[in-house]
Amino acid sequence: MAQIIAIANQKGGVGKTTTAVNLAASLAVLKKRVLLVDMDSQGNATMGSGVQKNDLLYSITDVLLGEVPVETAITKSEVGYKVLGSNRELSGVELAIADQDGREFILKKALESVRDSFDYIIIDCAPSLSLITVNALAAVDGVMIPMQCEYYALEGLADLTQTIDRIQQALNPDLQIIGVLRTMYDARNALTRDVSAELEQFFGKKLYDTVVPRNVRLAEAPAHGLPIIYFEKSSKGAVAYLNLAAEMLKKSKVKKGSKA
């Protein structure tokens, strides 16, 4: 049964979609069955996976509106994992489902039929707390938070943890933060080091050892519709996301072992 993980941060520009795409690709390289769900109407995770968002026959919009089963809307990408894509049509869904009973659990119910077909389902969330994002957080086992080591990111992180607590209490008692990932990391910067130390003190073992550095090739890859490992596998960005996937798998094994 798949572990379902949301990549979320209410602050934009922190590497959220970059993390969703490249974590999915790295897990696939490590022989895991992966589904990437794009829950952002910008469709950047879809495009970054080499899938044309405007050519989708069906998208996450159709699934949330109950027009097709999730299996029908899943697209096979050329980069090792499958994609439940998104485009601008998603922006109108919130109004369409606002009056439905159980509207917060539409995605959770939809994914139940495919959960046994994957090892990981990665959900890329929009940088806002909308009903669509609430659907994502109600459906997942945990949240991975990518963030830059800067002052404003810390403020946004406080807001996000409060949101996660509220969702946990009201809709998803199993929801937890599985890890915090430092992105666009520059060890030469004193503020980066200071914020990183604060994160380590606050999150402890939930702060990933892996950091994603500032990397030109990583920034270029989406324009080619490719995860970094397929665009420039020797780049620092590719190595970082492979390390993140390996670290995540290792922590998952340790957690399972501790339950035994």
CATH architecture of 3-251: 3-Layer(aba) Sandwich (3.40)
pLDDT at residue number 256:
60
- Average pLDDT rounded to a whole number, residues 191-204: 89
- Average pLDDT rounded to a whole number, residues 19-48: 97
Dihedral of alpha carbons 134, 25, 253, 214, sign: negative
Q: Which two tokens stand for residue 161?
A: 């943890």
Instruction: List, in sequence order, every residue forming a beta bridge with 226; answer none if it has no partner.
Output: none
Note whether 198 and 213 are within 8 A (CB): no
pTM, two decimal places? 0.94
Domain boundaries, the chain: 3-251
The rounded percent of the chain whose pLDDT value lies above 70 is 97
Q: Which of 198, 207, 212 lies closest to 251 in space, CA to CA?
A: 207
Q: In what order do the strands lie in the sheet with 120-125?
A: 74-76, 82-84, 34-39, 120-125, 3-7, 142-148, 177-185, 207-213
Question: Which runs of consecutive H residues, i.e. helices, occur in the chain?
Answer: 16-29, 44-48, 60-64, 70-73, 93-97, 106-111, 131-139, 151-170, 190-203, 216-220, 228-231, 236-259
Q: Which of 198, 216, 217 lies closest to 207 in space, CA to CA?
A: 198
Note whether 63 and 114 are within 8 A (CB): no
Q: What is the mean pLDDT of the chain?
A: 92
- 119, with CB counted inside 10 A (0-12, 13-18, 19+), is middle
Q: At what angle do helices 190-203 and 151-170 cross, to 10 degrees?
A: 20
CA-CA distance, 173 to 216, in Å (whole number)? Answer: 40
Say how many residues make up the chain: 260
Q: Which pLDDT band holds residue 257 (cuts at 50, 70, 90)?
A: low
- Average pLDDT rounded to a whole number, residues 134-153: 91
Tens-digit pLDDT profile for residues 206-235:
999 999 999 999 999 999 999 999 999 999
CA-CA distance, 99 to 80, in Å (whole number)? Answer: 38
- Average pLDDT rounded to a whole number, residues 99-118: 96
Whether the pLDDT of residue 40 is over 70: the answer is yes
Angle at 241 between CA 127 and CA 243, to 5 degrees: 135
CA-CA distance, 232 to 249, in Å (whole number)? Answer: 23
pLDDT at residue number 180:
95
